[in-house]
Amino acid sequence: MENVKEISIEKAIEKAIVQAPVFDKIAKFYFVIDLMSISFFNRVVREIPKHLDFDIENTINANILDVCCGTGLLSRYLTKLSDRVVGVDISPKMIAKAKRAAKKLPVYFGVMDATSLDFPDGSFDLVAISRGLHAMPKETRDNAVKQAHRVTSSHALFIEPVRRPKSRISRAIHDFAERAEGGFENYIEFVEIDFSEYLTSFGFLPKLMIKESNSEVYLCKKL
């Protein structure tokens, strides 16, 4: 992709909105979720190039943004596709963990609110949000998706739990995790919506890339 805009990352991070969300409190336990996500994220990142309309692996300076990046596991996998990956999250403690884990990988992390991304319009070739939307209140979620649409020039990746587990044990474990993350009521509301239609309503053309028992992964084209 030609004419990829330079991103003023330092400026954006400086203006970051810092809050003290619930994720600050659970950051030290999040490694459990990360361990369970390794093979899934590996699979997601292997699939992405097949669904883009440009050859990301042979694109110099493709910009990738991972919003609600948490401890940055997906961001680190995304460095397999580009050496210009940025991960942002509202939780300073999650970001601190992400920075420590990234070591020398070409990924830059900073604290930033998904609803007010401090990046220019269309400055990323691919914007990802993984499991960041389902626990947000509707208005916050809508604003985060609008921002993802604004800052991507071409594609976006969304990974979310779209169904509650069927088995009682699995459902109880998921419900416990969602309560611990502080967004249980929002999650219950989220699983009732048609996620593909929801993304379409924000100007994305969603393509179901991976369907799991509870989660779906959409690779979207910006319309």
Distance, CA of 90 to chain centre: 12
Q: In sequence order, what are the beta bridge partners of 211? A: 216
Residue 173 Cβ vs ligand SAM, minimum distance, rounded to whole Å: 14
Please pick, from the candidates 130, 147, 186, 196, the single residue that binds ligand SAM as defined by CB under 6 A: 130
Residue 126, H or E segment: strand 124-130
Pairing between β-strand 215-222 and β-strand 204-211 as defined by DSSP bridges: antiparallel
Identify the CA nearest to 60 among candidates 78, 38, 84, 25. Answer: 84
**Residues within window 77-116 making contact with ligand SAM, judged by CB under 6 A:** 89-91, 94, 113-115
Residue 3 Cβ vs ligand SAM, minimum distance, rounded to whole Å: 28
Pairing between β-strand 215-222 and β-strand 124-130 as defined by DSSP bridges: unpaired
Q: Which amino acid is at 134?
A: H
Q: Does 68 bind ligand SAM (CB under 6 A)?
A: yes
Q: Which amino acid is at 215?
A: S
Q: Does 48 bind ligand SAM (CB under 6 A)?
A: no
Residue 182 Cβ vs ligand SAM, minimum distance, rounded to whole Å: 9
Residue 223 Cβ vs ligand SAM, minimum distance, rounded to whole Å: 24
**5: its two tokens:** 């805009």
Q: Does 187 bind ligand SAM (CB under 6 A)?
A: no
Chain residue whose CB lies nearest ligand SAM: 70
Q: Does 118 bind ligand SAM (CB under 6 A)?
A: no
Q: How many residues bind ligand SAM (CB under 6 A)?
A: 21
